[in-house]
Chain A
């Protein structure tokens, strides 16, 4: 079964600093990988997704992620953090063949941004 590991349940950065949220996956085949963000009392919003078209994926709100097969990683970065980036971030992988939509999520990383 596929799985996702997010390193660091809490990350704290200063406003304007680099954001780096780590995600490692386990998969025997090329995976489909996603990053979602969840703001308090809201659902999940898609930030970006990797579907093998390009290893560097650009998403919304200035976020991007790089797929590294050799490291089985899909880390999320943003060059300059903004106060509005404070939220919980989830890395996810699609499990299953045959076109099924079962997302397997990591445990999440809560990002705090301080002035």
Chain B
């Protein structure tokens, strides 16, 4: 079974631009979560989607948004990019909507650099 895939793997943008990242979960997985990883702040939860609905959201500004499609694929969008948005963005999928014991499987990430 194929793992979580994320596209693109690398992106370079300039301040003020917007960017869209894509995540395809493991087949059959209905929950997709997004995380931001930076050297200063570590791994931080952005949001989670299940059945096309945002179920949980982290403490990020409204410039960060996401959505999920009927096939469980998810996209996240960052508008008006700032230098501090440079990070590795990780997507994780799981079988169900959570419950604690549900394992999240991570993709390889998208490395975003904002110049």
Count residues on chain B whose CB falls below 8 Å from chain A CBs. 29
Count residues on chain A whose CB falls below 8 Å from chain B CBs. 26
**Which of B41-49, B64-72, B76-84 makes up part of the contact surface?**
B41-49
Q: How far is the CB of B89 from chain A (nearest CB, A)?
A: 10
Hey, what's the 0/1 contact readout for B81-115 against A, CB within 8 Å counting as 1? 00000000010101011111111111111000000
Whether B45 and A43, one on each chain, are in contact in the complex, defined by CB atoms closer than 8 angstroms, is: no
In the complex, chain B residues whose CB is within 8 Å of the CB of A104: 45
Whether B104 and A103, one on each chain, are in contact in the complex, defined by CB atoms closer than 8 angstroms, is: yes
Give the CA-CA distance A98 to B43 in the complex, in Å.
22
Q: How far is the CB of A65 from chain B (nearest CB, A)?
A: 15
Nearest to A108 among chain B residues (CB) is: B42
Which of B56, B99, B106 is in CB contact (< 8 Å) with A102? Answer: B56
Whether A42 and B108, one on each chain, are in contact in the complex, defined by CB atoms closer than 8 angstroms, is: yes
**In the complex, the 3 A-B pairs of residues with the closest C-beta atoms, listed nearest first:** A32-B100, A99-B98, A43-B106
